[in-house]
Amino acid sequence: MKTQNKAMGGQVLLTIFTLCMLYSGARAQLSPGIYDKTCPYLGQIVRKQVSMALKAEIRMAASLIRLHFHDCFVNGCDGSVLLDGTDSEKLAIPNVNSARGFEVVDTIKAAVENACPGVVSCADILTLAARESVYLTGGPMWRVALGRKDGLVANQSSANNLPSPFEPLDSIIAKFQAVGLNITDVVALSGAHTFGQAKCDVFSNRLFNFTGQGSPDATLETVLMSDLRTVCPVGGNGNVTAPLDRNSTDVFDNNYFKNLLQGKGLLSSDQILFSSDLAVNTTKRLVEAYSQSQSLFFRDFTCSMIRMGGIMNPVNGSSGEVRKNCRVINN
Ligand code: HEM
Ligand SMILES: *[C@@H]1O[C@H](CO)[C@@H](O)[C@H](O)[C@H]1NC(C)=O
Ligand SMILES: *[C@@H]1O[C@H](CO)[C@@H](O)[C@H](O)[C@H]1NC(C)=O
Ligand SMILES: *[C@@H]1O[C@H](CO)[C@@H](O)[C@H](O)[C@H]1NC(C)=O
Ligand SMILES: *[C@@H]1O[C@H](CO)[C@@H](O)[C@H](O)[C@H]1NC(C)=O
Ligand SMILES: *[C@@H]1O[C@H](CO)[C@@H](O)[C@H](O)[C@H]1NC(C)=O
Ligand SMILES: *[C@@H]1O[C@H](CO)[C@@H](O)[C@H](O)[C@H]1NC(C)=O
Ligand SMILES: *[C@@H]1O[C@H](CO)[C@@H](O)[C@H](O)[C@H]1NC(C)=O
């Protein structure tokens, strides 16, 4: 069954690519074949490195795709999330003590530099690593457009403005629209919460009657709620984590959406895609459709990943450099 899906996916890859890019003239400089001559084994090198990282820790797949998301939403996909330093996005609230995988990115970059020095940007490496993470955990494969340049600045305040698990659906939708993504992208990309973990800190407000924080979240299914109360007791360690998708924690599939139909979304920002009033006219139908058809989810997810990967720096466009070290700009 699995192989069949993959084979079918292969036949429509090119079509999907063209459709997703159709209306985005600004993204025209990116192209799948851009390193064919200058770094012919790029794809294999990244696949091997990601594969080794997942053997050491399967959760790394989730951590790597999240880095790509946090990169693209701040200054466009320009490797800004990887920069160390005073304005580092690593220190922004959504990232500090949460974003992970930077050492793995360093390792991939070193392997790529070894084969083709000074050619492939850190932003492209994140794009490729995200794709491999999905594919190697059971998700779809797709062609990625490459040729991004690495930016020269990080923007911590912009990273502080990344979508939050506590905000309402209309403002999450608005943050996607601000970078050129639509409601389909909100739902499909949220499906990345089919793997990986979240800390008690970002969902325990749904579990108890904290002073001033209202009642437990009525949309959270009761058995899951009681399990999570054990994992995240009042006054407990907020660093403890729970899987975003309990049914298939490390697999890329559509269980995330099936969970939402049962009230088993871990984050408030997950469950509101199905359960909020606003969802009725915006996201709910898509959640239902993806819960019923994994192949529809994979198709739309692929398209949305390509669109997210095309977000460009609104100020500097595609200008920038190919960083030697992903953590610092070149001299
Ligand atoms: C829709 C708005 C989104 C919100 C509010 C959100 C929020 C979060 C939060 C709070 C966590 C847990 C972080 C922690 O506890 O350390 C998380 C984890 C994660 N997010 Fe999102 N996210 C969103 C969209 C996305 C998108 C678009 C992607 C990728 C395409 C993504 C991929 C992930 C993954 C894979 C993890 C698990 C990371 C790991 O285990 O290291 N998220 N997200
Ligand atoms: C960071 O991004 C914000 C918008 O989110 C912008 O107002 C600000 O000028 C940016 N800062 C830098 C240093 O680019
Ligand atoms: C979002 O954009 C994609 C690609 O253009 C399109 O196929 C989809 O219908 C759009 N979704 C919504 C809700 O407008
Ligand atoms: C939370 O508060 C509400 C209203 O005061 C109450 O009905 C409910 O039983 C409380 N839940 C818990 C778990 O204490
Ligand atoms: C959570 O982890 C961070 C980083 O390791 C640490 O600074 C913090 O003290 C931890 N919090 C608790 C409650 O252990
Ligand atoms: C997830 O597992 C639970 C318990 O095994 C089961 O009740 C539920 O139906 C499963 N959900 C999905 C989406 O497979
Ligand atoms: C959804 O759309 C219907 C019909 O347009 C409208 O009557 C209703 O108020 C909308 N609901 C929300 C929550 O926006
Ligand atoms: C654009 O590039 C210039 C240097 O070329 C830099 O000073 C500026 O901060 C950059 N702005 C953004 C938003 O990346």
* pLDDT, greater one: 26 or 304: 304
| Ligand 7 atom at minimum distance from 281 CA | 1
Question: How many Å lie between the centroid of ligand 3 and the Cα of residue 244?
Answer: 26
Strands 241-243 and 197-199: antiparallel
For residue 215, what pLDDT band results from cuts at 50, 70 and 90?
confident
Compute the Cα dihedral for 111, 115, 121, 123 and give only its sign: negative
Q: What is the mean pLDDT of residues 180-196?
A: 98
d(CA 25, CA 46): 28
Best residue among 69, 103, 305 to mutate for probing ligand 1's pocket (most ligand atoms within 8 Å of CB) is 69
Determine if the pTM surpasses 0.85: yes
Nearest protein Cα to ligand 8, atom 4? 152
* 104-110: Cβ within 8 A, 24+ apart: 104/49, 104/50, 104/53, 104/60, 104/63, 104/64, 104/129, 105/64, 105/67, 105/129, 105/326, 106/325, 106/326, 106/327, 107/49, 107/53, 108/45, 108/46, 108/49, 108/50, 109/325, 109/326
* Of 189, 224, 198, the residue nearest 70 (C-alpha): 189
Residue 18: the pLDDT is 61
160 lines ligand 2 (CB under 6 A): no
Catalytic residue numbers, as ranges: 70
17 has pLDDT over 80:
no
Best residue among 251, 262, 274, 294 to mutate for probing ligand 6's pocket (most ligand atoms within 8 Å of CB) is 262
| Ligand 5 atom at minimum distance from 237 CA | 13
Q: What is the mean pLDDT of residues 276-302?
A: 98
Domains of the chain: 2-162+305-309 (1.10.520.10), 169-304 (1.10.420.10)
Axis crossing angle, helix 284-292 with helix 183-190, rounded to the nearest 10: 40
SS3 191: helix
For 250-283, write each residue's pLDDT tens digit: 999 999 999 999 999 999 999 999 999 999 999 9
Residue 143: the pLDDT is 94
* Of 155, 148, 152, 156, the residue nearest 129 (C-alpha): 148
13 has pLDDT over 90:
no
Question: How many Å lie between the centroid of ligand 4 and the Cα of residue 219?
Answer: 14
CB 76 within 8 A of CB 90: no
| Ligand 8 atom at minimum distance from 155 CA | 13
For 217-247, write each residue's pLDDT tens digit: 999 999 999 999 999 999 999 999 999 999 9
| Choice among 25-34, 127-136, 304-313 with the minimum mean pLDDT | 25-34
Q: Which residues are annotated as a binding site?
A: 71, 74, 76, 78, 80, 89, 163, 193-194, 245, 253
Question: How high is the mean pLDDT of the chain?
Answer: 92
22 has pLDDT over 80:
no
**219: buried, middle or exposed (CB in 10 Å: 19+, 13-18, 0-12)?**
middle
